Amino acid sequence: MDQYLLSAWNRFDSGKIKVEVLADHIQLSTKQTRRKMTKWEQEGWLKFQSGRGRGNPSSLTWLKDVEQEYERHFLEKLYKGQIEEVSKRLLWNWSIETKQKLMTAFQANFGFHQEGEDSLLIPRIYPIITFHPLKAAEIHSANLVANLFNRLVTLNADNTITPELAHSWELQENSLLLYLRKDVTFHDGSILRSEDVVHSLQRMKQDEHFSYLWVPVTFISTPAPLVIKLEFPDGCPYVLQLLGLLSASIFKEKDNRLVGTGGFYLAEDSPEKTVLRAFQNHFGHRPLLDTVEFIQVPKEFQTIYQGGQDPEGIDTFEVESDSGFGIVIMNPYRHSDMERKEVRDYIHMVINHHCHELSQLVPRITGNHEGCLIGFSKTYEMPILDKPKLTKPIKMNFVNYTSTTSHWLKEKLEQAGLEVVMEEISFEDAIYQPETLFDSDLFIHGEIFELNQTFSYFFFLKNSYSPLYRLTQQNQYLQQQIESYNTIPFENWNTHHLKIEQYLQKESLCVPLYYVKRQIPFSINLMNVEIKHFGYVDLTKLWTKPNI
């Protein structure tokens, strides 16, 4: 099967054709296309006669129905259980009708897997970017990291802290002692040592994105076997919460790869699929699932968490999950009209008065007239303002996941009399080179907190992956307010959060746009579904009910 042949079949009928046009459509060079045509003719798919003379069209005659034949091959492989092989073929250029038919068949057979294993098959639209705890700055990678690595402690949604790799600790005014569990095993079979923990924490402390969080901690050491000591002479009221961050996961490097201690280890990662396998020697409870497979599928595919032995047509139930919020970041540091507060305020007014309409555009999102802190942010309404004069169009950058809402915002701003130009940047650039976002006057940013909202908002202000970090670095008032966290007890942080959030709104720097939820369908045979990190299910807790 050849995706170029299928693409040609669905675009060109029998008759006159220019090879240059065909080559452009299937995105090959003219020379490569002529070689393909020769090969396809030899295989009996078509008859091709090259045009005589420069610029004269060639002649193409189809001898077989390519899509019909390919559909048959696809289904044969699907029914043999070759899931990952056929999944990549779903990405080919089928006709709309055939693609829908194949996706329906694929969905119905998605649960097929080898006998004797409890498996979970999850459709994956985008490949996983990274499995490194210090580089997982988007939710898909972060969800995987949460299942591959452990942290010293767990920071729960209710602000409580529970043991993980550390079984207990002693917190003093200027130091913290942590006592590690005995005989914890890495995925490579080696035993976790206190030196491994010190090395991981030092890596985070020295990382350019997280070093600002670690400023109060001046020294990390191991005074005795399985004991870690952190020292902070001027105090650090959030030191335990810091150790509960995903980026504080404990890992070591071996043979140019990372190994962790989590409930799953990375068994395979390819363009077609990513496979997690249960770690038999996990220090806690071994996952009840044997494997979790993320299979690459087209964007149109419906994501269902489905067991490997589920029969065709298994019923599902839906679990609602918070998927965070969207904000509009306005950039007053670009030497443009956005330096003027009256311009930012006018845009803020337009957003505030129209964001409730977003649910008509995307049903799973609702307009946000409050802020980022659910349960704490206050509802507000902007007054009617006069339109300011602009010296040039407003520049808005956007990435793929904000395309729909960004174009909606452009339309609303233009209806309010403002000219807007848009530029798309890549998802990876937006994450790892955030300065590309700030080469604009404004942009929409989507954020989802890990688990604990109180610490996550502080993390949102401080880590340099965050767009708010770039605003705070250039604003003296915000810098002073953020430094105050070092002296405020953690239980009082939400009050300080609101002070900062209200300043960002008053200055029209960070404007709330929407909240977003998603409904995740699960097979009825999947038990113990618990939403945890970044609104995703905790894979280590799932199990499949056998068919009886």
| % the chain with pLDDT above 70 | 90
* CA distance linking residue 397 with residue 410, whole number of Å: 11
Widest CA span in the chain: 88
Mean pLDDT, to the nearest integer, of 154-175? 95
What is the mean pLDDT of the segment spanning 390-410?
95
pLDDT at 373: 92
Residue 122 corresponds to which tokens in the numbers above?
């999850």
Over residues 511-532, mean pLDDT? 81
Does residue 381 carry a pLDDT above 90? yes
Q: CA 428 to CA 140: how far, in whole Å?
A: 13
> Average pLDDT of 203-219?
95
**The total number of residues written for the chain in this structure:** 548
Whole-number Cα distances in Å, 335 to 142, 393, 478: 35, 13, 20
pLDDT of residue 114: 41
Domains belonging to the chain, first-starting first, are 3-64 (1.10.10.10), 150-259 (3.90.76.10), 321-517 (3.10.105.10)
Q: What is the pLDDT of residue 111?
A: 45
pLDDT above 80 for 339: yes
Q: Note the pLDDT tens digit of each residue in 261-283.
A: 999 999 989 888 899 999 989 99
Going by their DSSP bridges, the two strands 15-17 and 153-155 should be labelled as: unpaired
Q: pLDDT tens digits, residue range 100-157? A: 778 767 765 554 344 457 888 888 887 889 999 999 988 889 989 999 999 999 999 8
Distance CA 437, CA 423 (A): 10
Beta bridge pairs of residue 511? 328
Q: What is the pLDDT of residue 527?
A: 83
Do residues 210 and 140 lie in contact, with contact meaning Cβ atoms separated by under 8 Å? Answer: no
pLDDT digits (tens, 9 = 90+) for 428-456: 888 888 888 899 999 999 998 888 999 99
Per-residue pLDDT at 190 = 92
Task: Kindly give the pairing relationship between strand 175-180 and strand 153-155.
Answer: unpaired
Instruction: Provide mean pLDDT across the span 41-50.
Output: 90
Chain centroid to CA 407: 21
* pLDDT of the residue at 53: 62
First to last CA, the chain: 39
pLDDT digits (tens, 9 = 90+) for 465-486: 899 998 888 999 999 999 999 9
Residue 495 has pLDDT above 60, yes or no: yes
16 phi, psi to nearest 5 deg: -75, 140
Of 134, 132, 112, 108, the residue nearest 121 (C-alpha): 112
The answer to whether the beta carbons of residues 336 and 319 sit under 8 Å apart is no
**What value, to the nearest 5°, has the Cα angle with vertex 544 and ends 287 and 530?**
65
Which tokens in the block code for residue 430?
Answer: 């937006």
Gap between the Cα atoms of 488 and 133, Å rounded: 28
Q: Of 86-100, 189-203, 304-318, 408-422, which range is least confident?
A: 304-318
Task: Give me the phi and psi of 279, to 5 degrees please.
Answer: -90, 110
Rounded Cα gap, residues 132 and 136, in angstroms:
6
| Closest alpha carbon to 533 in 431, 456, 427, 446 | 456
